[in-house]
Amino acid sequence: MKRIGVGLIGTGYMGKCHALAWNAVKPVFGDVPDVTLVHLGEANEALARERAAEFGFARSSGDWRKVIEDPDVDVVSVTTPNSFHAEMAIAALRAGKHLWCEKPMAPEVADAEAMLEAARQSGKTAVLGYNYIQNPAIRHIGHLLRENAIGQVNHIRVEMDEDFMADPDAPFSYKHQAASGYGALDDFGVHPLSLITVLLGPVASVMCDMAKPQARRKTSEGRERDVETYDIANVLIRLENGASGTLQFNRAAWGRKGRIALQIFGSHGSILFDQERFNEFQLYLTSDRGTEQGFRTILMGPQHEPYGRFIPAPGHGLGFNDLKIIECRELIRRMSGEGEAHVIDFEKGYEIERTVHAMARSFREKCWVDVP
């Protein structure tokens, strides 16, 4: 591929992240085709024109279908709310476009299945926006696990906490509607599942409980509405490799801003990672001398690829948007057929979707549920 024509649908927070990534992937990595920002789609013409000028797109439309129909567009970024993913993704794939769709796939498992089938039939690349797996720290943890550095993994714990739903006086929003999904379980709980998928493999069975710290909220017009989603979820899991685990998700945890606390316990050591300390992790090895045994801090640097593509010295640190640039590079690797790409494609993404829906079923039925 000598050139990639990009279409973008949706220009909120994640839309801007995608635009930044497409603009930066060539300067950062160098060994990619030229990227042309071709066509941007938004909810109306005025907003589309404004965002196209800001992000650097040549054309804009108030109808997302025109982005997909554009013959100069090779790949489409879909960054709209979750309930729109299925229709847009399937249309893009049927039009012969490659696809970069934000997670999760869709609120309904049937829609996720239809997206997967469309990807299979199209033969095009279709990946999901699970950029946390791109963190050099997470990648190096994966290397250590494959090298059996901490022995046989027997237990994993993951907590994901933020506080954007913590204020009881905050107004009712789209994310309080059932159309957006289950709540914390699939809004951001899928991110820890993506880490488990790439580090340890699939989840076999689950037991889930969910809670609503606020059962009702006021709308912007001042009337009360029932909150239809759950801001808290607690899950017991069993992995296919035999390890046990716990997952805890909370969108109403005051003081937590972007925390994913990952603890992996093995027969010969442990690994701890906290995303609020993005550029480091803790390693404990029983092979160390007893007199010096303890957790050591592993600080990311150029020796932890692809950190060195951004910064030539350790300790300066990468950020969220840098991970999106790395993810964009991996997407291009898959599109170009350059070999194994480090991505969550629709096949792996559908496994995550099935796991989430098994958790929701477990909550409804109040029992352990096998992931189909």
Give residue-wise pLDDT tens across range 121-174: 999 999 999 999 999 999 999 999 999 999 999 999 999 999 999 999 999 999
Please name the residue that has the structure tokens 């196209």.
52
Architecture (CATH level 2) of domain 132-370: 2-Layer Sandwich (3.30)
d(CA 166, CA 214): 9
Q: What percent of the chain has pLDDT over 70?
A: 100
Q: Please say if the pLDDT value at position 188 is more than 90.
A: no
- Categorize the per-residue pLDDT at 179 as very low, low, confident or very high, splitting at 50, 70 and 90: confident
Other CB atoms closer than 10 Å to residue 339's CB: what's the count?
Answer: 7
| Residue 87 buriedness (CB in 10 A; 0-12 / 13-18 / 19+) | middle
Q: Is 47 helix (H, G, I), strand (E, B) or coil?
A: helix
Measure the CA dihedral 322/327/328/333, to 10°. Answer: 140
Residue 339 has pLDDT above 80, yes or no: no
Q: Helices 13-29 and 45-55 meet at what angle, rounded to 10?
A: 30
Task: Give the rounded percent of residues in the chain with a pLDDT score beyond 90.
Answer: 95
d(C-alpha 96, C-alpha 74), whole Å:
8
Q: Report d(CA 114, CA 90) in Å as an integer.
A: 8
Give me the pLDDT at residue 20, please. 98
Domain 3-124 class, CATH top level: alpha beta
Closest CA to 237 of 273, 272, 199, 193: 193
Q: List Cα–Cα distances, 32 to 27, 28, 91, 273, 328, in angstroms.
A: 9, 10, 26, 31, 10
> CATH 3.40.50.720 residue ranges in the chain?
3-124
How many whole angstroms from its chain centre is CA 277? 18
Cis-peptide, bond into residue 171, ω within 30° of zero:
no
Question: Given pLDDT bands bounded at 50, 70 and 90, which one contains residue 1?
Answer: confident
CA distances (Å), origin 128, targets 89, 266, 322: 11, 30, 16
DSSP classification of residue 317 = -
Cβ–Cβ under 8 Å, residues 188 and 180: no
- What pLDDT score was predicted for residue 340? 87
Q: Average of pLDDT values for 237-260? A: 96
Q: How far is 98 from 346, CA to CA, in rounded Å?
A: 12
CATH 3.30.360.10 domain range(s) in the chain:
132-370
